[in-house]
Amino acid sequence: MWIDTHCHLDATEFDADRDIVVASAHAAGVGHIVIPAVAAWNFERVRHLAHQYAGCVYALGIHPMLAPQATDADLGTLRREIEASLDDPLFIGVGEIGLDYFVPGLDAERQMAVYVAQLKLAREFDLPVLLHVRKSQDQVAAQLRKMGVHAGIAHAFNGSPEQAYRFIDQGLKLGFGGNMTFSRANRIRRLATELPLDALVLETDAPDIAPAWLADDQFGEQGKVRNVPAEVAGIARALADLRGMSLADLSRHMQNNSLEALPRLRTRFSDAPDARE
């Protein structure tokens, strides 16, 4: 059984066929799908979807690309929603949060303020974090250490080995997905091969970061190709091939790693739909 540790199932790209998308994921052996929020306006949406579909769980947070527009009232809403969700077995953490220094024009100071405020919430309520670390690995990791947060996932990791170990040493896992499947993605593939296996988890970031077999052309230009959570099974096969191990062994490791990263998921793990490896 596979776990997609990062999937934006609430995205409009799934509005026409969301039932089919989830059913296809289950048929492909995906037992759990983690749905992170991105802003206060979609907190209720991700919660609703997690309760609607078997195997789905959710996190609440404000995405760094939306942080410049987030108000202090939004942070207050997040705190209240987290506190109200603690008794919900489908609520698993704080996310998607972090920093994005790739997209031009985003207010870096406001991003940092919103990120730090959310780390304080994660620490206060002893929750793991789902981290956005695009071109910001050092700054994200530094705040983790400063705030004393020791659980979660650095999603779509694409940093150096040294940066990877800053997250690993802090107790976090690293998310690997579709980017790893491209033969030209030498750095990501090397990281996926050489980092400790117990530091890795699988993800799709659907509908984004489609794997190589869905891409528009041989050079990995993904264009408008939609990714789906079922593709985590193919991503798992790619990782197994890179590391020279069986799918059965990889599945056991990925399950254990995901449960270490997201401890609240343990309460739902035995309820996963029947799935093949």
The string of pLDDT tens digits covering residues 38-72 is 999 999 999 999 999 999 999 999 999 999 999 99
Within a domain: 241: yes
What percent of the chain shows pLDDT beyond 90?
92
Within a domain: 274: no
Beta strands in 137-243 (DSSP E): 152-155, 173-176, 200-202
Confidence of residue 275 (pLDDT cuts 50, 70, 90): very low
Q: How far apart are alpha carbons 272 and 31 in whole angstroms?
A: 5
The number of folded domains in the chain is: 1
3-state secondary structure of 38: coil
Give whole-number Cα distances, 93 to 185, 198, 203, 227, 247, in Å. Answer: 30, 20, 16, 23, 28
Q: How far apart are alpha carbons 9 and 6 in whole angstroms?
A: 9
Q: Is 103 exposed, middle or buried (0-12, 13-18, 19+ CB in 10 A)?
A: exposed
Q: What is the pLDDT of residue 267?
A: 83
Q: How far apart are alpha carbons 126 and 148 in whole angstroms?
A: 10
Within a domain: 45: yes
Here the CATH number for the domain that contains residue 133 is: 3.20.20.140
Q: How far apart are alpha carbons 63 and 131 in whole angstroms?
A: 9
Pair 136, 171: CB distance under 8 Å: no
Within a domain: 228: yes
Task: Give the chain's length.
Answer: 277
Res 17 pLDDT > 60: yes
Within a domain: 231: yes
Q: How far apart are alpha carbons 277 and 268 in whole angstroms?
A: 18
Within a domain: 276: no
Structural domain for 28, as ranges: 2-269
Within a domain: 277: no
Cite the DSSP H helix spans in 98-221: 108-124, 137-147, 161-169, 186-194
pLDDT tens digits for range 77-124: 999 999 999 999 999 999 999 999 999 999 999 999 999 999 999 999
Q: How far apart are alpha carbons 166 and 42 in whole angstroms?
A: 31
Within a domain: 157: yes
pTM score of the predicted model: 0.94
